[in-house]
Amino acid sequence: MIRTPFDRFGKQMVRDAVEGRCSVESDAEVPASTRRVDLWLVPLEAGTSSPDHLGLLGRITGGSVTLEFFHNTPSGEDLHVCLIKHGEFRHFLSRRKTLPPIPIQWVISSGRPDAGIVGLAFRPMLGWPPGIYESPPLHCTRLVVVNELPVVRDTLLVRLLGAGSVLKQAVAELRALPAEAPERTLALPVLLRLRLAVPTNPAQQTGDDQEFLMSTREIVDNWRREAIQEGLEQGERKLLLRMLRRRFGAEVSGEIERRVAAAPAEQIELWAERVLSASTLAELLAD
């Protein structure tokens, strides 16, 4: 199962990146055990190219693949379990009446898992940038060490799956892109949802949580202001409703939706700011 909110961010961003281009299954079951695959992607049309703005992420998701996300660098045993799970999954797929494209596994690791690289005989992958490794052929697994990737725009979306200074640098690069950049359009809503998953009580936050909140505060605030300043009030209302439904579920009734639809832009902005701190829906929507 997905391990941290940061891994959920990776899972959601990749889902959004390939939407309309691949069929996507979350938590795909491996019947031989209780293990599950983080993401299983199958292109809807074979041979179609990925959008240019996806860069390295588009290259990784260009064929049938599974992905495993590790915001915390996996141990050698963690990586070994991924190989075992992938072997079981491939075997399960091979027994289907209609054989699907058999996937390659990609493990996305924020840091370098030295024990796993050495113990499982991973080696740098020819024709790919630094930080990309491949297993011996029969393991059908590739490894991305995010903190070893070159700092170029082509790797930006994958570096957003990193940790610590790598994530901070990637967020700064995202912030520096033009407002209409497709990378911003893709990643910013998912970053905002990740902020909502971070505990509001500082005592419950990890060091990673606090660093993430600090590094993304400006970009999220700027994005919200830009949306209002450019007259995209309807987009802001839709975004607010999505955030409210994520936090409060069935409490967001038709009456609440009508109230959001009728509120002035200044009220929408105030409510949006409260989404990250209010403990109840009533507190958030107080005038």
**Same domain, residue pair 225 and 266:** yes
Asked if residue 155 and residue 81 are part of one domain, the reply reads yes
What is the C-alpha separation between 266 and 27, in angstroms, rounded? 40
Please report whether residue 183 resides in a domain: no
pLDDT at 32 over 70: no
List the domain range (segments joined by +) for residue 216.
193-284
- For residues 60 and 121, membership in a common domain is answered with yes
Are residues 74 and 10 both part of a single domain?
A: yes
What pLDDT sits at residue 231? 47
Same-domain check for residues 144 and 241: no
Has residue 184 been placed in a domain? no
Mean pLDDT of the chain: 86
Is 87 among the domain residues? Answer: yes
> Is position 182 within any domain?
no
Regarding whether 130 and 79 lie in a shared domain, the answer is: yes
Which of 8-12, 40-44, 54-58 is the least confident region? 8-12
Same domain for 154 and 59: yes
For range 252-266, the mean pLDDT:
84
pLDDT in tens, 58-81: 999 999 999 999 999 999 999 999
- Number of domains observed in the structure of the chain: 2
**Is residue 271 predicted with pLDDT exceeding 90?**
no
Share of the chain above pLDDT 90, in %: 38
Please name which of 132, 129, 133, 109 lies closest in space to residue 121, comparing C-alpha atoms.
133
User: Residue range 142-168: average pLDDT?
Assistant: 95
Q: Is the pTM value of this prediction over 0.85?
A: no
127 within domain boundaries: yes
- Strands ordered across the beta sheet of 104-109: 22-29, 36-43, 65-70, 104-109, 141-145, 132-134, 123-124
Q: Is 203 exposed, middle or buried (0-12, 13-18, 19+ CB in 10 A)?
A: exposed
157, 70, 58: which is closest to 116 by C-alpha?
Answer: 70
Task: Identify the three-state secondary structure at position 26.
Answer: strand
Do residues 39 and 11 lie in contact, with contact meaning Cβ atoms separated by under 8 Å? yes
Residues 243-255: what's their mean pLDDT? Answer: 85
